[in-house]
C-alpha cells in the first residue's frame, strides 16, 4: 500500500467503516445492563407482592438431605426412601436458607390416603423445629368424624384445633394460607378461616418472632406433593400491629 491515493482511501473510508461495524456487533452481544439483571432477579415476584419460594424447577433457595423431587408439572414431591421412616429426621425436611418474620404464606398440597406432613414456620433451630417453631398440620383428615383436633388439616401443633375440617379427599389439591403478623396467627384452608389466635395466649407463647420456613418429610410411605409455594413479607407500620387482642 505504497500508493498515496490508496492510503488515503483506506484510512479515511475503509478503516472507520470496519471499526463502526465491529462496535455495532459488540453492542448487540454485550452483557445485559444492571437494570436488566435486576429485572431478571425479581422475575419470581408478582404484582401483588408475593414471591415464589419454590420456582417449579429446582431447590434453589432451599436446603435438605431428603428426597425432594421437582416434577414436570411444576409441583414438588417428597418421596421418602424405603429406609427413611419416622418424622424425626429433621435434616430431611425442606428448609428455607433464610428466616422470615411477619408474612403471608400460600401453599398447596396433595396427599395420598392417610398421608402426613406439615408446614413449619418461625423455626429458630432447624435441628429442633418441634420445640423452636410452629407447625401447621398437613394430613388426610378428609374422613375424620367428630370435632377437629390439632392433627386435622390446618391445625396448629401442639394443641390448637382448626374450627372446621376442610380437608379434601386424597389426590385433590388443598390450599393453605398462613398469615403470621406479630402475635396474631391466622390460617385458611380451602378458602375458609380455621385458625385465628393470639400466640401469646397459646401454648406457643415462647416461640421466636422470626425463623425458617420448612416442609416436613414424615418418612416412608408418606409421599406428599406441594405446589404454588409463595410468600409475601409484611412490614408492620407500628410495633404490635396485627396482634389479636
Residues 17 and 57 in one domain: no
Residues 204 and 86 in one domain: yes
Residues 142 and 206 in one domain: yes
Residues 132 and 215 in one domain: yes
| 241 within a domain of the structure (yes/no) | no
**Are the C-beta atoms of residues 142 and 169 closer than 8 Å to each other?**
yes
Residues 78 and 145 in one domain: yes
Residues 130 and 229 in one domain: yes
Residues 28 and 133 in one domain: no
Distance in angstroms (rounded) separating the CA atoms of residues 13 and 243: 75
| 244 within a domain of the structure (yes/no) | no
Residues of the chain with pLDDT under 50: 7-11, 14-43, 240-241
Determine the pLDDT at residue 222.
Answer: 95
Residues 17 and 137 in one domain: no
Determine the pLDDT at residue 243.
Answer: 60
**In the chain, how many H helices and how many E strands?**
4, 14
| 161 within a domain of the structure (yes/no) | yes
Distance in angstroms (rounded) separating the CA atoms of residues 89 and 79: 14
Residues 69 and 141 in one domain: yes
Residues 62 and 168 in one domain: yes
| 23 within a domain of the structure (yes/no) | yes
Half-sphere exposure of 63 (CA within 13 A, CB side): 9
Helix, strand, coil abundance in the chain, percent, nearest 5: 20, 30, 50
User: What would the pLDDT profile of 106-152 be if each residue is shown by its tens digit?
Assistant: 999 999 999 999 999 999 999 999 999 999 999 999 999 999 999 99
- Find the CATH number of the domain harbouring 186: 2.60.120.560
Residues 23 and 110 in one domain: no
| 89 within a domain of the structure (yes/no) | yes
| 130 within a domain of the structure (yes/no) | yes
The number of distinct structural domains making up the chain is 2
Distance in angstroms (rounded) separating the CA atoms of residues 122 and 36: 34
Determine the pLDDT at residue 41.
Answer: 36
| 220 within a domain of the structure (yes/no) | yes
- Domain that residue 17 falls in: 4-39
**Are the C-beta atoms of residues 103 and 180 closer than 8 Å to each other?**
yes
Residues 54 and 134 in one domain: yes
| 50 within a domain of the structure (yes/no) | yes
Distance in angstroms (rounded) separating the CA atoms of residues 201 and 125: 22
Amino acid at each position: 500500500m505504497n500508493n498515496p491515493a490508496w492510503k488515503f482511501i483506506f484510512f479515511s473510508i475503509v478503516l472507520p467503516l470496519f471499526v463502526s461495524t465491529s462496535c455495532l456487533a459488540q453492542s448487540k452481544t454485550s452483557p445485559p445492563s444492571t437494570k436488566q439483571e435486576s429485572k431478571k432477579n425479581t422475575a419470581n415476584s408478582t404484582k401483588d407482592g408475593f414471591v415464589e419460594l419454590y420456582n417449579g424447577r429446582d431447590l434453589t433457595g432451599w436446603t435438605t438431605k431428603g428426597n425432594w423431587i421437582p416434577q414436570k408439572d411444576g409441583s414438588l414431591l417428597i418421596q421418602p426412601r424405603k429406609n427413611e421412616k419416622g418424622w424425626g429426621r429433621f435434616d430431611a425436611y425442606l428448609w428455607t436458607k433464610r428466616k422470615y418474620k411477619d408474612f403471608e404464606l400460600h401453599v398447596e398440597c396433595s396427599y395420598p390416603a392417610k398421608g402426613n406432613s406439615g408446614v413449619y414456620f418461625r423455626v429458630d433451630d432447624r435441628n429442633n423445629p418441634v420445640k423452636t417453631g410452629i407447625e401447621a398440620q398437613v394430613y388426610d383428615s378428609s374422613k375424620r368424624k367428630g370435632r377437629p383436633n390439632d392433627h386435622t388439616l390446618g391445625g396448629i401443633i401442639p394443641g390448637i384445633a382448626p374450627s372446621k375440617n376442610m380437608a379434601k379427599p386424597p389426590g385433590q389439591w388443598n390450599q393453605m394460607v398462613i398469615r403470621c403478623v406479630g402475635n396474631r396467627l391466622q390460617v385458611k384452608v380451602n378458602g375458609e378461616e380455621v385458625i385465628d389466635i393470639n400466640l401469646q395466649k397459646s401454648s406457643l407463647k415462647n416461640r421466636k418472632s422470626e425463623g425458617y420456613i420448612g416442609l416436613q418429610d414424615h418418612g416412608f410411605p408418606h409421599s406428599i406433593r406441594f405446589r404454588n409455594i409463595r410468600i409475601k413479607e409484611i412490614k408492620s407500620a407500628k410495633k404490635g400491629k396485627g396482634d389479636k387482642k
